[in-house]
Amino acid sequence: MDTAAAHATPASADDHAGYMQYALNLARKSPPKPTNYRVGAVLLDAKANAVLATGYTLECEGNTHAEQCCFIKLAEQHQVAEERLADVLPEETVLYTTVEPCFKRLSGNLPCVERILRLGKAIKTVYVGVKEPEKFVGENTGRKMLEDAGIKVVLVQGMEKEILDVATAGHLP
């Protein structure tokens, strides 16, 4: 695979498959471990088709998830606390994540769904590649929590097998 092409951003903000592929390429950077999913995330200004931040599982210090890494990096860039990101996010911000955001963390960290919710309506839509497998925390009720808060959750279909292969690399059979 051409490295430049693998990391190029799609030409249009409505290229959902392209942005999901971009997030999947990020997920591949995450170290395979039996205790987590390898996930990639892209925070996008959909109006300007500009990537605001990217992240992948364990990219930042600690037991960090991909979405969390996006928020950490963007907060550092704008020199604001993560919970104040809504003040700096563009109006049409969307999030792409290869695996549905978690609603529960066994590590004690704030779940990604709660991180999204505490930004109010700063993120309008979350595009996901697959629903979170039930292996670690059971059925993910995060989608309903997001939708109840007025945030659209859209499944980008067509890459489920590839996303799950990457997400579960390192898991015991």
Is residue 67 annotated as a catalytic residue, yes or no? yes
Burial 146-166 (b: 16+ CB within 10 A, else e): beeeebebeebeebeebbbeb
- What residue type is assigned to position 60 of the chain? C
Tally of CA atoms within 13 A in the half-sphere of 60 that contains its CB: 18
Nearest Cα neighbor of 82 from 25, 131, 122 is 122
Among residues 67, 82, 100, 132, which one is catalytic? 67
Q: Which helix (H) or strand (E) holds 53?
A: strand 50-56
**Would you please indicate which residues are annotated as catalytic (active-site) residues?**
67
